[in-house]
A and B are shown apart, each in its own frame.
Chain A
Amino acid sequence: MFCQFCGTAVEDGTKFCPTCGRSQETVEQPIAPQIPIPEPPPQYIPGNDGGGGGSAQTGKWISDGWQILSGELLLLVLASLLGAIVANVTVGILAGAFAIGINIVITRKILQNRVDLGDLFKGLKYWLDGLLATMVIAIFVFVGTLFCIIPGFVVAAMYMFTFHFIYDKRLGFWEAMQASHNVVKQDYFGYTIFLVCVALLNVAGVIACFVGILVTIPWGHAAVTAAYRDAVGFDPAGTYFS
């Protein structure tokens, strides 16, 4: 069958399109496979983007990130700190899992306006995909930085939604990376600038006696999760909470 949103051919029974990440279960009138699709239509990107299509909204997302964070500052800082400690203790093996975990914590804050620290450990369910994604993205970014640094930022921006696609759409690490790339390619420059701004936030956190990073890291996670909410949209079922 074909995804009704972007026209990509997907296998029967697939829950989410590997290209645009949209749910295939809500399809009311699936496109018949025999209908030829000469060129896929532009991807529909939901969200209140003010008519900018798939453009990045750096200011809005960083501001939204702060609003999300400031609502539960202490708990989100604690969750982020806990995740960072476990990721370091396990020599990075669980870094991806806990990055997914902190994103699940923030997602619940966005969807249900409450924080459950237990969500931090729900990322362990996706630890292998998290680990593989972390390793592959790190290699890609490293290669990118070899070419006068800036390409490394572009590559990092390309895969910024990978962890979100892994837990929210339950995609494998490679499909999630591709889905993230498909979102970001609508505005490479805008998303790269967004990521650079998030990185600058963390630099500011380091300058603020290193303590600031306790706030800027979850702020960055919240900003990227807000971007994912607007650019892709969360799975309404939210099964990862259970």
Chain B
Amino acid sequence: MRFLSWSPLVLLAFLPQSLLPFASLCGFKWLTGLPCPFCGLTHGLLFWMHGEWAEALHWHLLTPMVFILLAGAPFVTQNQGIAQQKRLLQLASGAFACYSVWRWCAIVLNKG
């Protein structure tokens, strides 16, 4: 069961691109008009699993990081202590926060 974290990756690898929703399901985006830190990840992972790396990065720059986290999750859970897991989560959260701020700045500056 610890390899369950691979299930989203396997699912996305076999999911046709046409099945992804065109409209955003993100409430944050509906409310603010800005993408939330996770917006574009599903598309990014789908394109990553289909081998379209550039398209994946276009949707979300942190797609490779999330792929590594999901792929490595079973081993992290089994072999690492809570402190290491916490540090990993903090690093990932920091990366998402930085990427979000950068993306918001880019959107606001482009509009201006």
Residue numbers of A with Cβ under 8 A of B are: 39, 42-43, 52-60, 145-151, 185-190, 193
- The one of A39, A52, A148 in contact with B25, judged by C-beta atoms closer than 8 angstroms, is A148
Nearest-neighbour CB distance to chain B for A52, whole angstroms, equals 7
Of B35-43, B49-57, B104-112, the stretch lying at the interface with chain A is B35-43
Q: Tell me if A147 and B78 are in contact (CB < 8 A).
A: no
Task: Known pairs A188-B85, A190-B1, A190-B77; list 19 more (Cβ under 8 Å).
Answer: A39-B83, A52-B2, A52-B78, A53-B78, A54-B82, A55-B77, A55-B78, A56-B1, A60-B1, A145-B27, A148-B36, A148-B42, A149-B25, A151-B38, A185-B85, A187-B77, A189-B5, A193-B4, A193-B5
Among all A-B residue pairs, the 5 with the closest Cβ atoms: A146-B27, A148-B38, A147-B36, A146-B28, A148-B26
**Closest residue of A by beta carbon distance from B27:** A146
Most A-side CB within 10 Å, residue of B4, B28, B37, B38: B4
Q: Which residues of A contact B31 (CB under 8 A)?
A: 146
Q: Which residues of B contact A151 (CB under 8 A)?
A: 38
Q: Tell me if B89 and A188 are in contact (CB < 8 A).
A: yes
Tell whether B61 is near chain A: CB-to-CB under 8 Å. Answer: no
Nearest-neighbour CB distance to chain B for A7, whole angstroms, equals 13
Tell whether B16 is near chain A: CB-to-CB under 8 Å. Answer: no
- The one of A43, A55, A146, A147 in contact with B2, judged by C-beta atoms closer than 8 angstroms, is A55
Q: Which residues of A contact B38 (CB under 8 A)?
A: 147-148, 150-151
**Closest residue of A by beta carbon distance from B26:** A148
Q: Which residues of B contact A54 (CB under 8 A)?
A: 82
Q: Which residues of B contact A190 (CB under 8 A)?
A: 1-2, 4, 77
Q: Which residues of B contact A188 (CB under 8 A)?
A: 85, 89
Tell whether B33 is near chain A: CB-to-CB under 8 Å. Answer: no
Residues 40 to 83 of chain B near chain A (Cβ within 8 Å): 41-42, 73, 77-78, 81-83
**Closest residue of B by beta carbon distance from A193:** B4
**Closest residue of B by beta carbon distance from A56:** B1
Q: Which residues of B contact A57 (CB under 8 A)?
A: 1
Q: Which residues of B contact A148 (CB under 8 A)?
A: 25-26, 28, 36, 38-39, 41-42
Q: Which residues of B contact A39 (CB under 8 A)?
A: 83
